[in-house]
Amino acid sequence: SVQQTLSIIKPNAVAKNAIGAICDRFEKAGLRILAARMLHMSREQAAAFYAVHQGKPFFDELVGFMTSGPVLAMALEGEDAIALNREIMGATNPAQAAPGTIRADFADSFTENAVHGSDAPDTAATEIAFFFPEGVCVRTR
Ligand code: CMP
């Protein structure tokens, strides 16, 4: 079924000027950008977004990285968008990401893994509302 998912192009990928290359992969796979917002997250925002990881050994490094520069948050839509986005991204640990995936090509480390994508419909809804409280563009085709 048609789903929406939250994507973040992380600071390392933005710094590499890879926004266009990564969005091209989303669009070529049939995902449609319904909302997009560039922002430099505060520590409070990053900690709130990743609240589920609070207390984990990588949490401080993650918050430090996610606040190190601007990110592009996007709401993507398409058939099975959540799983499709995760397939295009590759494994969270870039050492395990399949060749040709975004993380295989743009990640620098487990933390600096280039992109984030929602993992389930409930988290997708929460994460989209986090960055787009005013809602996303209504689908036109
Ligand atoms: P993301 O999909 O954004 O979700 C949590 C992030 O924490 C993950 O991508 C990585 O950037 C980062 N991270 C760093 N170390 C780990 C780890 N050991 N396990 C999971 N996520 C990690």
Per-residue pLDDT at 141? 61
User: How confident is the model over 91-103, as pLDDT tens digits?
Assistant: 999 999 999 999 9
Strand, helix or coil for residue 62: helix
User: How confident is the model over 57-115, as pLDDT tens digits?
Assistant: 999 999 999 999 999 999 999 999 999 999 999 999 999 999 999 999 999 999 999 99
What is the Rg, in whole angstroms, of the alpha carbon atoms belonging to the chain?
Answer: 14
- Ligand 1 close to Cβ of residue 123 (< 6 A): no
> CB-based contacts of 80: which residues, under 8 Å, 6+ apart?
1, 3
Average pLDDT, rounded, for the chain: 97
- Ligand 1 close to Cβ of residue 62 (< 6 A): yes
End-to-end Cα spacing for the chain:
15
The pTM of the whole model exceeds 0.95: yes
ipTM reported for the complex, 2 dp? 0.95
Structure tokens at 17: 């000027």
Contact (Cβ atoms closer than 8 angstroms) between residue 119 and residue 53: no
Catalytic residue among 10, 86, 103, 116: 116
